[in-house]
């Protein structure tokens, strides 16, 4: 299957600004989203996304079609940048932002979608980084299991093990939200 970005990347390598703008429109939200879910910080996520595109501009001229899917390569670059940052800062997961209120004590309180979303984000940051990386790639970045395994440098079996553990950890962290959601579904 032809890489949908191949033609754009070639034009970017030739200095076509319009092609660069289209490539940014296509992929910037995904890159920011990946970095935000991995790092838990919007400003840092934008820094990483910018760095990803600097690498894109640097290597577009030498990109050889057919060697790999360009979007998979971008994801690999972004994930490596995030993992580097996490290691440098000593963040490995298990940290919840001190500003976020702990809603686990109020399991009976009805939660709206925005609160649930915030809890999901907090729970993602609590995951060990390898589980978070696997889940982010497969659930939020729409990478296939093969692409995600390749990006992380693991086998598909190892990826599935990471995903299972991630889901188990998240279910435990989000038990109140799950109960609230299920009760909402049952009464509707």
User: In the chain, what is the straight-line distance between the N-terminal and C-terminal CA atoms, in Å?
Assistant: 44
Output 39 or 49, the one with its CB closest to other proteins: 49
Judge residue 135's burial from the number of C-beta atoms within 10 Å of its C-beta, 0-12 exposed, 13-18 middle, 19 or more buried: buried
Distance between CA atoms of 36 and 90, rounded to whole angstroms?
17
Residues 149-178 that bind other proteins (CB under 8 A): 152-154, 156, 158-161, 163-164, 167-168, 170-171, 174, 177-178
Distance between CA atoms of 57 and 13, rounded to whole angstroms?
7
Distance between CA atoms of 109 and 113, rounded to whole angstroms?
13
Residues 73-92 that bind other proteins (CB under 8 A): 73, 76-77, 80-81, 83-84, 87
Output 6 or 145, the one with its CB closest to other proteins: 145
| Shortest distance in whole angstroms from residue 98 CB to other proteins | 20
* Cβ neighbours for 139, distance < 8 A, ≥ 6 positions apart: none
| Shortest distance in whole angstroms from residue 97 CB to other proteins | 15
Binder of other proteins out of 4, 15, 65, 101 (CB under 8 A): 15
Please give the DSSP secondary-structure letter assigned to residue 10.
H
* Count of positions on this chain that bind other proteins (CB under 8 A): 71
Which residue from 146, 153, 158, 29 is spatially nearest to 80, judged by alpha carbons?
Answer: 153
Residues 118-147 that bind other proteins (CB under 8 A): 120-121, 124, 128, 130-131, 133, 138-140, 144-145
Residues 17-56 that bind other proteins (CB under 8 A): 17, 20-21, 24-25, 28-30, 32-33, 37, 46, 49-50, 53-55
């Amino acid at each position: 299957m032809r890489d949908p970005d191949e033609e754009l990347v070639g034009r970017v390598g030739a200095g076509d600004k319009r092609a660069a703008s289209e490539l940014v429109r296509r992929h910037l939200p995904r890159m920011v989203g990946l970095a935000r879910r991995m790092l838990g910080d919007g400003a840092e996520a934008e820094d990483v996304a910018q760095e990803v595109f600097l690498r894109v501009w640097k290597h577009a001229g030498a990109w050889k079609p057919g060697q790999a899917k360009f979007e998979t390569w971008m994801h690999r670059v972004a994930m490596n940048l995030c993992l580097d940052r996490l290691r440098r800062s000593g963040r490995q997961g298990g940290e919840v932002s001190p500003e976020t209120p702990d809603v686990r004590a109020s399991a009976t309180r009805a939660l709206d979608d925005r609160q649930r979303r915030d809890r999901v984000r907090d729970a993602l940051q609590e995951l060990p980084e390898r589980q978070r990386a696997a889940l982010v790639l497969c659930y939020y970045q729409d990478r296939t299991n093969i692409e995600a395994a390749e990006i992380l440098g693991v086998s598909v079996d190892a990826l599935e093990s990471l995903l299972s553990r991630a889901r188990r950890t998240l279910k435990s962290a989000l038990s109140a939200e799950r109960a609230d959601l299920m009760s909402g579904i049952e009464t509707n």
